[in-house]
A = this chain, B = another copy of it.
Amino acid sequence: MRDFSSDHRWLSINTATVRRSRGVDLPLTEIIEACARRGIRAISPWRDQVAAAGLDTIAGRLKANGLALSGYCRGGMFPVTDEAGRRAARDDNRRAVDEACELGAPCLVLVVGALPGALAGKAAHKDMALARAQVRDGIADLLDYARSMGMPLAIEPLHPMYAADRACINTLEQALDLCDELNPQPRGADAGRAALGVAVDVYHVWWDPKLKAQIERAGARRLLAFHVCDWLTPTTDLLNDRGMMGDGVIDIPRIRGWVEAQGFDGYSEVEIFSARNWWQRDHRQVLDTCIERHRVAV
């Protein structure tokens, strides 16, 4: 297991962590500069932030600042109610792959979607099996395109509390079952990264009694991204009350140890949605805290 205590070379910042500074939206260009100034070597930006600044602008700023990506957020949201919706989702996901290529991302993260309409409070139906079948078909279709572009897809299993409205893939086992179905590993496959793998976010999977076994099953080829934050007790909001590493109950070093025992050698990406706390602070303080906690609590 790598020693993180003396530097932050393996720290990446998911830009949602500092998308607001003192409660105000912060442009991605400023996030990039603040990260570069602190010797942070990688970020994982969100599509809406990239679109607001312009894809070319962001590609240029990343290059000028020597910043890598640890992932690109995000594709997915496959379940729909009609053919027009399916085509729109397909086209949008292909654009996400194109953008990920343009920015040099190592993978496109997929939040796969769930019951159509549920995110707006009006689920079109209650058929999780149908939603899961649409996710399967959507990934299968996108995988063809992504492979042609050389862009790995990372399925991010989300915590079961998001099963209704954000993602109906809710355990690492379920995600890996899908990987094995759609992208079977050839015998004697090399040690490279799979075209379809997973993003392991400790917030979503820490509770899972099968976590260690499924990380071992994934192996280095399927482990495309590793995200950290913490689970607070109490948690006051289902979406936007994630904690800074060390402030909650997740044994992050233990999980990182399992991931690295498989050969994972990528970035540890900090992704914190925190409406009541960290988004209310100055982003420079948040980044400094991420660096400090990366050394002592990850």
Residues in A lying within 8 Å of B, measured CB to CB: 115, 118-119, 121, 123, 126-128, 132, 159-161, 163-165, 168, 170-171, 174, 206-209, 231, 233-236, 238, 248-251
Contacts and interface: CB of A to CB of B under 8 A. Distances in A.
A200 B161 CA distance: 17
Q: Specify which of A159, A164, A171, A251 lies most central, judged by the most chain B CB atoms within 10 Å of its CB.
A: A164
Given A115-B249, A209-B132, A123 B161 contact: no
B126 A251 contact: yes
22 contacts: A121-B233, A123-B233, A126-B249, A127-B251, A128-B206, A128-B207, A132-B209, A159-B160, A160-B161, A160-B207, A161-B161, A163-B207, A164-B233, A164-B248, A164-B249, A165-B234, A170-B207, A171-B209, A174-B209, A234-B238, A236-B238, A238-B238
- Kindly list the 9 A-B residue pairs having the minimum CB-CB distance in the complex, ordered from nearest: A163-B207, A126-B251, A160-B207, A161-B161, A118-B233, A164-B249, A123-B249, A160-B160, A174-B209
Given A159-B161, A164-B249, 6 more contacts: A115-B249, A126-B249, A128-B251, A161-B161, A163-B207, A174-B209
Contact of A208 (B159, B160, B238): B160
A258 B137 CA distance: 26
Contacts of A123: 233, 249
A235 B165 CA distance: 10
A249 B118 contact: yes
A209 B168 CA distance: 9
Q: Specify which of A118, A126, A132, A235 lies most central, judged by the most chain B CB atoms within 10 Å of its CB.
A: A126
A35 to B, nearest CB: 29
A24 B251 CA distance: 40
A250 B160 CA distance: 13
A135 to B, nearest CB: 11
A115 B234 CA distance: 13
A236 to B, nearest CB: 8
A128 B250 CA distance: 9
Contacts of A249: 115, 118, 123, 126, 164
A164 B207 CA distance: 8
Contacts of A161: 159-161, 235, 238
Contacts of A238: 161, 234-236, 238
A217 to B, nearest CB: 15
Contacts of A248: 164
Contacts of A159: 160-161
